[in-house]
Amino acid sequence: MSLLDVSIVNVALPSIQKGLGASSSDLQWVVSGYALTFGLVLVGAGRLGDVRGRRTMFLVGLVVFVAASAACGFATGPLFLVVARLIQGVGGGILNPQNSGFVQELFRGKERGKAFGLLGATIGLSTAAGPLAGGLLIQIFGVEHGWRAVFFVNVPIGVVAFLLALKWLPKRAGQRPSASLDPVGVVVLGVAVVLLLLPLVQERTWTGTTKWLLIPAGLIVLAAFVWWEVRYARSGKEPMVLLDLFKTPSYSFGSAIGLVYFAGFTAIFFILALYLQNGEQYSALQAGVAVTPFALGSAAAAALGGRVVHRLGRPLVAAGLAIVIVGLLATDLVLAHVSGPNVGWAIAVPLLVAGIGSGVVISPNITLTLSEVPVERAGSAGGVLQTGQRLGSAVGIAAVGSLFFNRLASSHGDWQQAITSALRLCDVVIALALVVALVDLGWGARHRAPREEPARTTA
């Protein structure tokens, strides 16, 4: 639910604008406000789950998310909806890092890979299937009430999830009452995340260049956070983020791959939705159906990737990135030569290929990134990983979206030129992720094998 709500709202924006009389700025906040608060609380919520109990935080996040979803559905005006979306983002941000924490704590070895494979399939499917789900609900309930159904659908699902969580999730997971919460670290990191995300999510709404001054300000605050965490650890207390994690190559390389890949991956659906609905006059449902092959390929490949990641390791992630690049290049080639009502069918196979590649990137990368993280740090480590992905998504949408609209303006409304240029930039970004993966492979060939050999001899 919480990941689906990142993209499902995009296709409902025209209905929201008509139903509530929302301005373009209001609509921007409906989309970006959720991403902002979602990313804001991820690390702190993961830390709370590590210390005060993952089931407790899971249930708290679920209640906040479902209540806010209901409030969104009952919204009587744009401000009401924006505030409810901000709270909904907080609920999603509390909920998400508990998942990776539970997987780390409850599974070991190959079983952990399978569990992360299912989690990766969920991430890939929910992110890519958002436009389809939103389009279906608007088709069923109509333009006037369909956007409300987009939010109301979370309520029955959330109630069932709450009952199953009470039954299945272990009560004492992550409880360490004696551990400190590091409140100063929580606040400083939160300020840094807001400063870094805000100009990116508001890139189209805030005109002028002044907004970009928030980026260096955010980096300064981030440096202050690092200083505080080091100082806090030296005082004998347990910091919110154990910075020593980044000395572990699997975690540092995996986090970098996730950040860069999500910058290219998330932007794909943003520009395709714009192109299909505004450029080719597809309905919300038709646009959702057109990107479904990516979602299906991603979900199937993620589940499979989780089963073989322990056998294949980092080369699997590198291969997946290469497959995504091939699929997007093929999509770009098709869109450069095909337009009109058949364009959705024409891009189905290339998107399926890209989705398969994406599936063997996301879940194996999560598995490998968190493989050497101590269980008691699983929530905060997962929160840091997801925060990087959210920052990457914001950067990617801002950069790719800016190129898309600039090309559209300079070509006097040539949608084909705009979409092909934007897809090429997505390819370049994903190629950068592939470079990081190849560097990781090269580093591993030089450093990891010599350390592993004595352990195998002893065994």
Render each residue's pLDDT in the chain as its tens digit; 459 residues.
Answer: 887 887 788 778 778 888 888 887 787 788 778 888 888 888 888 888 888 888 999 999 999 999 999 999 999 999 999 999 999 999 999 998 898 888 888 888 788 878 887 887 787 777 667 777 888 888 888 877 888 999 999 999 999 999 999 999 988 765 665 566 778 888 888 888 888 888 877 776 777 788 889 989 999 999 998 899 888 888 878 787 778 888 888 889 999 999 999 888 888 887 888 888 888 888 878 888 888 898 888 888 888 887 888 888 889 999 999 999 999 999 999 998 888 888 989 999 999 999 999 988 988 888 888 888 887 777 778 888 888 888 888 788 878 888 888 888 888 888 988 999 999 999 999 999 999 999 988 886 676 544 444 444 444
Report the pLDDT value the prediction gives residue 452, as an integer from 0 to 100: 43
CA distance 135 to 146: 9
Q: What is the pLDDT at residue 459?
A: 43
What pLDDT is stored for residue 451 in this prediction? 43
Question: Is the CA virtual torsion 240, 242, 243, 245 positive or negative?
Answer: negative
pLDDT at residue 173, rounded to an integer = 64
Give the per-residue pLDDT at 458. 46
- What pLDDT, on a 0 to 100 scale, did the predictor assign at position 456? 42
Q: Can you give the pLDDT at residue 189?
A: 85
Do 307 and 151 touch, CB atoms closer than 8 A? no
Question: Residue type at 279?
Answer: G
Q: Are 280 and 339 in contact (CB under 8 A)?
A: yes
CB atoms within 10 A of CB 370: 25
How many Å apart are CA 122 and CA 125, to the nearest integer?
A: 5
Query: In the prediction, which pLDDT does 455 show?
Result: 43
3-state DSSP call for residue 225? helix
Helix, strand, or coil (residue 175):
strand
Cα 174 to Cα 181: distance, rounded to the nearest angstrom? 13
Residue 208 region by backbone torsions, left for phi larger than 0, else alpha for psi between -120 and 50, else beta = left
Residue 175's pLDDT is: 61
pLDDT recorded at residue 81: 94
Which phi and psi (to 5°) does residue 341 adopt?
-65, -20
Q: Judge contact between 350 and 330, C-beta under 8 A.
A: yes
Looking at the DSSP assignment, which residues form a beta bridge with residue 52? 175
Residue matched to tokens 């991603």 = 298
Count of beta carbons in the 10 Å neighbourhood of residue 445: 10
Q: What are the two backbone dihedrals, phi and then psi, of residue 202, each rounded to the nearest 5 degrees?
A: -105, 15
pTM over 0.85: no
